[in-house]
């Protein structure tokens, strides 16, 4: 039996649809009234600057552990006790969410939607980080048929059940869903379920979106 033709594009949210907090330090510093250059950890853009990131990549801590610590650190810089990543994200970028959407993401999502590709998000922390009202403040999300968010399901990627949930939401076999994520562990989890995948490179977003669209015979113009 020949493989099913891809019918759906399933995207992670933070890092794939939006620019990472590593890329928006200047906006964060401005929003929080911090001196320019105060935030120096760069994660995947400069692993040498970020021992905590390297620890996460070695699976010594989880992604949530990483951001919990960064939340605590940044809160302390403004003299506050932050215990929620939602506080960090909303204070850093919540007022104007469209400013942090990758232009390549906006273009690719609209290209796929116009071509009849079904769209879904599979996130570990969309509402946990951005707040429940964020979806209403970002019109682009209205193009997505399904949003599966571990904020509510409590099933985190790379657990196979997380990918199964998005397949169930779309009523499609996972082999017909192209999955895009910037974390290799999540991509590996998707591969194990039979999904075609793209390991999103946050340093080369246009290249990654072009690869994703190519599964559907589309191009990122």
Neighbours of 80 (CB within 10 A): 11
115 vs 64: CA distance, rounded Å? 35
pLDDT of residue 19: 94
pLDDT of residue 3: 61
pLDDT of residue 18: 95
Q: Give the pairing type, strands 197-199 and 177-181.
A: parallel
pTM exceeding the 0.85 threshold for the entire prediction: yes
119 vs 98: CA distance, rounded Å? 19
b/e map of 149-170 (b: 16 or more CB within 10 Å)? bbeeeeebbbbeebbebbbebb
Each residue's pLDDT tens digit in the chain (221 positions)? 446 799 999 999 999 999 999 999 998 999 999 999 999 999 999 999 899 999 998 989 988 899 999 999 999 999 999 998 889 998 987 567 788 899 999 999 999 999 999 999 999 989 988 888 888 889 999 999 999 999 999 999 999 999 999 999 999 999 999 999 999 999 999 999 999 999 999 999 999 999 999 999 999 97
pLDDT of residue 94: 59
Output the six-digit token pair for 155.
Answer: 């099933």
CATH architecture entry for 8-18+101-214: 3-Layer(aba) Sandwich (3.40)
CATH 3.40.50.1000 segments of the chain: 8-18+101-214
Crossing angle for the helix pair 85-93 and 25-32, to the nearest 10 degrees? 90
């Amino acid at each position: 039996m020949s493989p099913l033709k891809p019918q759906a594009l399933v995207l992670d949210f933070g890092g794939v649809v939006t620019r990472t907090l590593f890329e928006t330090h200047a906006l964060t510093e401005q929003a929080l009234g911090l001196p320019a250059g105060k935030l120096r950890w760069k994660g995947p853009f400069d692993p040498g600057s970020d021992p905590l990131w390297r620890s996460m990549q070695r699976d010594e801590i989880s992604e949530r552990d990483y951001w919990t610590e960064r939340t605590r650190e940044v809160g302390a810089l403004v003299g506050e006790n932050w215990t929620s990543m939602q506080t960090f994200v909303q204070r850093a970028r919540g007022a104007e969410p469209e400013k942090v959407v990758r232009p390549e993401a906006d273009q690719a999502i609209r290209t796929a939607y116009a071509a009849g590709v079904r769209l879904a998000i599979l996130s570990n922390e969309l509402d946990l980080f951005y707040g429940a009202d964020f979806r209403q403040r970002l019109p682009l999300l209205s193009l997505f048929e399904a949003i599966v968010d571990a904020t509510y399901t409590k099933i985190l990627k790379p657990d196979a059940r997380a990918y199964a949930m998005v397949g169930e939401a779309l009523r499609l076999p996972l082999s017909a869903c192209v999955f895009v994520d910037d974390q290799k562990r999540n991509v590996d989890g998707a591969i194990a379920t039979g999904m075609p995948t793209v390991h999103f490179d946050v340093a080369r977003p246009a290249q990654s979106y072009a690869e994703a669209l190519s599964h559907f015979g589309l191009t990122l113009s």
